[in-house]
A and B are shown apart, each in its own frame.
Chain A
């Protein structure tokens, strides 16, 4: 069996994990484990981190050969701290993630990604190989192209079940292998589907929404998910622009910093551009409304929701903001509001 490397953030370059001979294992915050994380850290932290930590505390994890953490926000760095405390013998690398996209940030992140790659090769007792990295980046980029094609299909018309299938592809890339995801994507695209009518075309955005069943539920509630803008969704499959650079790590750093528009990263030349980006995506997909789904206690989003609301209102795009945890159970509580929203949007 291929040994696994655990990770928790979309800024983790999966091709580096696979190049070192590991399989990626994104630890989703999906667990029935008892709530103990609040005790080890604090209760006022996002459910993403708390549930992942609950899994760790409860030993509810497959065998992992090491962990990659990304210092993407305060809560994530606390997760890395707590992991050290809970599983002190685990091999752990914490990658520093700059918040800005300046040239020096790209250079530094490139060094950090290289450190990550070298650690991974060493953990697996393999000789560091740029060729292996290149091959895996190529494979990843093929996946990115197919994922974009599925996204284009989703945004063009409503195909029942497509949003959930799309999510399954993303999850396979996160927790199985790039190749599995690639095959799944090819299969989806090879099937001719007949578009249907009668659903409200919507963009959904936020931090985490990873359970494919959630997307089926949304369809049951009359929603056509045309854009899935989550860090467990389209943002996870960041294409790597190797043409820009002969240094793979720089290419990775530049692509991840520029093309993974998570609320925690900022373009200082246009402060607050997350709001403009969401409006732009909503407009280009020609959706009738936008649903934001963010996790409680997530600072990067808490601070941005008012400006996103304002930007959508300026464009007269209806907006529904939901907050909660990232589980199917939590979705059930939102049914009435989502159905009411789809009714307002009409079809």
Chain B
């Protein structure tokens, strides 16, 4: 089922790009690559690794492993309106509705044999405890070898060297399963490509800061998180270049849509994954999400002479890997850099990691006089969605911002 979905998606988008080859098509190129990744994941000839969100995908890509964090599949199921069936399946097997629905949806898919069998599994202790627990469950269910990357929540010297050592160990673990060790050349190439993409990402985010911002509510949705899957590849660089070109094009050719920017918003953590017209609601209210919290380059360029340590530093710089003080400082900086008027915090039901800092974020931002809209919502499970209530809250929030 998922293979056909990704196959159709690829064909459809490719057709549309081919029809107008002169256009930039940034978002289409991005979705095309996601569709291709999806297809490869469901292709039995590939070396498949199911991973935690913080796995070093640049290294895995360099090692020829088709890899993906499982929450991506949860999000895909939600975006194609097929999550409900799998959520129910998992719940019938005893998985509590108090858990994160990204994980519950994938668990349902595993129980229904709708997931491709991985060759091995790499769990990561960040962003969340729940994510690592489900990876262990999958390793047990598929009887596959399981590797854990423990990501300390600080960047002390010892923590970085522990993480760097584990990343190196991980490459040996992968090589044992694929038969292809990671060569110096491959690391060098992956690092070069990651650095190129990172630089372009930084350019993209800088362009998004402009007032009015050339982005729209959909343009950079979950971009930083999903792009991490493609880092270390030529495709990531091409996609980033297309995004940069499109933003420059928009700045040079502004549309009324772009200039209609009454309020600039920051979105914390992930977006809502199922079909839900929140972007349209925001458009109608003249509000624009100019930045997602995780759309940022928080790391220094990777050092080809010190690959594991620099990847470790990059990993531990991601906002959901750090303590709340540093995370909130990062949000505050984004508020300043992007001239933000208000913050939307979707408190995803079941997420102890992100939702758990709801009150601390609100408290700190109150001191900055920045209003925060805490949406109590499940970003994957739409079964209890109170659409009307959200609409009312959005309106009230806009009024509050004046």
* Chain A interface residues toward B at CB < 8 A: 38-42, 44-45, 71, 73-75, 77-78, 80-82, 84-85, 94, 96, 98-100, 102, 104-105, 107-108, 111-112, 263-264, 266, 268, 271-272, 296-297, 299-300, 302-307, 309
The answer to whether B356 touches A41 (Cβ under 8 A) is: yes
Instruction: Enumerate chain B residues within 8 angstroms of A112, measured Cβ to Cβ.
Output: 158
The answer to whether B360 touches A40 (Cβ under 8 A) is: yes
Shortest distance from the beta carbon of A11 to any chain B beta carbon, whole Å: 14
Bound-state CA distance A263–B132 (Å) is: 11
Closest to A266 in B: B136
CB pairs A–B below 8 angstroms (11 shown): A38-B359, A42-B356, A45-B352, A74-B129, A85-B324, A94-B323, A271-B136, A272-B136, A299-B130, A300-B133, A303-B137
The answer to whether A42 touches B99 (Cβ under 8 A) is: no
Closest to B350 in A: A44
Pick the most buried of B96, B137, B352, B359: most chain A CB atoms within 10 A of its CB: B352
The answer to whether A305 touches B94 (Cβ under 8 A) is: yes
Residue from A81, A104, A300, A309 within 8 A of B129 (CB atoms): A300
Q: Is B369 an interface residue (CB 8 A)?
A: no
Residue from B100, B145, B150, B325 within 8 A of A99 (CB atoms): B150
Instruction: Enumerate chain B residues within 8 angstroms of A81, measured Cβ to Cβ.
Output: 323-325, 357, 360
Residue from A82, A84, A271 within 8 A of B140 (CB atoms): A271
The answer to whether B133 touches A71 (Cβ under 8 A) is: no
Beyond A272-B136, A299-B128, 13 additional pairs, beta carbon < 8 A: A41-B357, A44-B349, A44-B350, A45-B352, A75-B352, A78-B356, A81-B360, A96-B150, A99-B123, A100-B150, A271-B146, A302-B130, A303-B136
Residue from A40, A45, A80, A108 within 8 A of B363 (CB atoms): A40
Bound-state CA distance A304–B135 (Å) is: 11
Q: Is B205 an interface residue (CB 8 A)?
A: no
Bound-state CA distance A74–B132 (Å) is: 11
* Chain B interface residues toward A at CB < 8 A: 93-96, 98-100, 103, 123, 125, 128-130, 132-134, 136-137, 139-140, 145-148, 150, 152-154, 158-159, 162, 165-166, 169, 323-325, 347, 349-350, 352-353, 355-360, 363
Bound-state CA distance A22–B362 (Å) is: 36
The answer to whether B325 touches A96 (Cβ under 8 A) is: no
The answer to whether A99 touches B169 (Cβ under 8 A) is: no
The answer to whether A99 touches B94 (Cβ under 8 A) is: no
Instruction: Enumerate chain A residues within 8 angstroms of B357, measured Cβ to Cβ.
Output: 41-42, 78, 81
- What are the 4 A-B residue pairs with the smallest beta carbon separation, nearest first? A272-B140, A303-B133, A81-B324, A271-B139
